[in-house]
Amino acid sequence: MSAPTLTETSSVQSPPAANTSTRRSSVIIEDKACIPAWVDDLESFRRWAHSDDFPERGWFSYLNGEIWADLSMEELFTHNLVKMEYTTVLASLLRIVQLGYLVSDRMLLSNLAANLSTEPDGLFCFWATVQSGRLRLIEGAKGGYMELEGTPDMVLEIVSRSSVRKDTERLRDLYWRAGIMEYWLVDARGAAPRFDIFRHTKDGYVVTEAQDGWLWSKVFGQGFQLTQQTDPLGHPRYPLLTHSAQSTVGVLDTNV
């Protein structure tokens, strides 16, 4: 899921005829994608996402009654390569201590309690989370696992120009309602990159305070620090540094 833009925040309806029920019209986006009229709730959105009619390009999300869509491409330095950095660093950690699944973007995540279906830029779940049924692997009609349903242990979003409100407001609320322990939010667009780890509490997400420059993750049992450098061609790059005060990752605190 790259940087979705709000295309539709309420039902798009044709004027109702006399004595007929109101229905939403199909939504055409830049003559490249069509959201069918029958997609009007979480169940129908998920059914559409598994169908042959679901667009092969673009990012589409169902966020508690709103359909968000974006057909734009990812920016290279502040989005695509930042996402690659996080994926590479976390994958390296999990090769040392294998405790679960690190999932990159383009995997649909749905949560019934939060009325949510979206494709995060990344997510992680412990194998124990899947074994407990807290997160389920959903098979596609043509085989293979095509969707995750439930609550992973961490989600990652990279902010882009068109996703600011979505990532900082809508998903922050819905990921909390879904019970996700940590929400990692990265914004590398400004003069200095911003990286937050939001911890789940009963009253909402709270920002993890840095300790000597490090953000500590209870999920991974590691400290993380996003830095900024310049590559040999003069473009920005954003190395993600790690620091361990423990010998293993995967220190869960179920009381947060």
pLDDT truncated to tens, each residue of the chain (256 aa)?
443 333 333 333 333 444 444 567 999 998 889 999 999 999 999 999 999 999 988 899 999 999 999 888 999 999 999 999 999 999 999 999 899 999 999 999 999 999 999 999 999 999 999 999 999 999 998 899 999 999 999 999 999 999 999 999 999 999 999 999 999 999 999 999 999 999 999 999 999 999 999 999 999 999 999 999 999 999 999 999 999 865 444 444 333 3
State residue 54's pLDDT score.
95
Q: What are phi and psi of 166, to 5 degrees?
A: -60, -50
Contacts of 196 (CB under 8 A, 6+ apart): 184, 185, 186, 207, 208, 215
- Distance between CA 197 and CA 244 in Å, rounded? 16
**Amino acid in the structure at residue 197:** I
* DSSP-derived 3-state class of residue 82: helix
How many CB atoms within 10 Å of residue 102? Answer: 18
In sequence order, what DSSP letters do the residues of 167-206 get, joined into one string? IIIIHHHHHHHTT-SEEEEEE-SSSS-EEEEEEEETTEEE
Q: Which pLDDT does position 31 carry in this prediction?
A: 87
Specify whether the CB–CB gap between 80 and 106 falls below 8 A.
no
Q: What pLDDT, on a 0 to 100 scale, did the predictor assign at position 24?
A: 76
Q: Which residue from 158, 162, 157, 211 is spatially nearest to 180, judged by alpha carbons?
A: 157
Residue for token pair 């990652």 = 156
**Rounded Cα gap, residues 152 and 123, in angstroms:** 7
What are the backbone dihedrals phi and psi of residue 76, each rounded to the nearest 5 degrees, phi first? -65, -55
CB atoms within 10 A of CB 36: 15
**Which pLDDT score, from 0 to 100, does residue 23 have?**
61
Residue position matching structure tokens 């349903």: 149
0.85 exceeded by the pTM?
yes
Do residues 172 and 183 lie in contact, with contact meaning Cβ atoms separated by under 8 Å?
A: yes
For the chain, what is the radius of gyration of the CA atoms? 19
Answer for the pair 41, 96: CB distance below 8 angstroms, yes or no.
Answer: no
72 CA to centre of own chain: 17
d(CA 103, CA 130): 13
Distance CA 60, CA 82 (A): 21
**Which pLDDT does position 72 carry in this prediction?**
85
Coil vs helix vs strand at 111: strand
CB 168 within 8 A of CB 185: yes
